[in-house]
Amino acid sequence: MISHNQEIYAEESFLITSTLSEILVGLSRPQKTLPAKLLYDDHGSQIFEEICQTQDYYITRAETEIFREHAPEMAKFIGQGAIIIEPGSGVSEKIRYLLPELNKIRAYVPIEISPEPLLKSCDVLTRQFPGLEIVPILGDFEKEIIIPGEVSRSSSKKLIFFPGSTIGNFSPSQAALLLRQWARLAGKDAMLLIGVDRKKGREKLIKAYDDQNGITADFNLNILRRINREANANFDLTKFSHQARYNDHKGRVEMHLVSREDQMVKVHDSLFRFQAGESIHTESSYKYTPREFKTLAEKAQFNYVKHWCDREGLFCVYFFNRAGTHHVQKQA
């Protein structure tokens, strides 16, 4: 059941014009950058789904294993009658492991910037879980999230569900800010169930972000395709190559697009010079040890309760709450 006569709450429009200045400023920096959110147009989101199926990108597999094995225990921590808010819900795949285990959910609130996956997920969930109240929000979860009145005023406990290691696409200080914002949104009984990729050897990380079938390369190059289309630019995609780098100092994998030759590129009404070998940094994926991530979440006033890892120890899902006292014993 979708609330409010199938209406989707639109927070704002998503014209590239709103980010044009971010593009121009980013390309003017000594280390050229592009906003990572531009990777996720409809085509980019489709390619990302393909990345998730690859052998090299272990993240989806490891996290799915964790949900398959531990969803019943997670559900016990969440309890009955909660409102589940999922920022950046995509096609709402991971929540489907949890929903059958949860008793009497008050509502599920997916927040997604692209209409297509949001509609698809509402459709699939309505069929799979008839009676589940779905309150879809079409919007950018990085901006302030506005939840419709009766859900936000509800006294039900609210769970922020943020799987997929998307938190890793924010710097640690941005991530802490985001979690603090969500802690406020979800109120005094806020709970957080979040998937976070672990620090590990460089080789495994680089392979995950530069898969052997070139799918991640296509995903990264698609940002230029999008900018050509939406910001009147003339990037020649054959003159850039994808590169994944591990920045040890910052604890993050970086995706870059490296210029294959000296060239000039027009974007909107500006010209940018690229030297051969010069790169555009398009996305960062921060990796955390459990200790580092607990410290980060605690900065946002979330109390650590428990975490679960896959059998290879590649990935973790953490449960935090804001209750003064934990009803479940803490894990060391």
The contact set with ligand AVI (CB under 6 A) reads: 51, 59, 164-166, 168-169, 209, 216, 255, 283, 285
CA distance 182 to 197: 20
Sequence-separated contacts (24+) of 148-156 with Cβ below 8 Å: 148/3, 148/4, 148/9, 151/83, 151/106, 151/107, 151/109, 152/185, 154/83, 154/106, 154/107, 156/81, 156/82, 156/83, 156/106, 156/107
By beta-carbon proximity to ligand AVI, the closer residue of 51 and 159 is 51
By beta-carbon proximity to ligand AVI, the closer residue of 105 and 255 is 255
- Work out how close the CB of 216 gets to ligand AVI at its nearest, in angstroms, rounded to a whole number: 5
By beta-carbon proximity to ligand AVI, the closer residue of 93 and 283 is 283
- Work out how close the CB of 292 gets to ligand AVI at its nearest, in angstroms, rounded to a whole number: 17
**Among candidate residues 86, 79, 104, 113, the one with its CA nearest the CA of residue 9:** 113
By beta-carbon proximity to ligand AVI, the closer residue of 139 and 168 is 168
CA distance 100 to 21: 45
Burial degree of 203 (CB within 10 A; 0-12, 13-18, 19+):
exposed
- Work out how close the CB of 195 gets to ligand AVI at its nearest, in angstroms, rounded to a whole number: 9
Angle between helix 172-186 and helix 290-299 axes, rounded to 10 deg: 50
CA distance 90 to 93: 8
**Residue 247, SS3 per DSSP:** strand
φ, ψ for residue 53 (rounded to 5)?
-90, -10
By beta-carbon proximity to ligand AVI, the closer residue of 150 and 312 is 312
- Work out how close the CB of 258 gets to ligand AVI at its nearest, in angstroms, rounded to a whole number: 16
- Work out how close the CB of 285 gets to ligand AVI at its nearest, in angstroms, rounded to a whole number: 3
- Work out how close the CB of 131 gets to ligand AVI at its nearest, in angstroms, rounded to a whole number: 31
**Residue 194, SS3 per DSSP:** strand
CA distance 137 to 273: 40
By beta-carbon proximity to ligand AVI, the closer residue of 105 and 215 is 215
By beta-carbon proximity to ligand AVI, the closer residue of 19 and 216 is 216
Angle between helix 42-53 and helix 58-78 axes, rounded to 10 deg: 90
- Work out how close the CB of 178 gets to ligand AVI at its nearest, in angstroms, rounded to a whole number: 14
By beta-carbon proximity to ligand AVI, the closer residue of 169 and 303 is 169
- Work out how close the CB of 141 gets to ligand AVI at its nearest, in angstroms, rounded to a whole number: 13
What percent of the residues of the chain are helix, what percent strand, and what percent coil, each to the nearest 5? 40, 25, 35
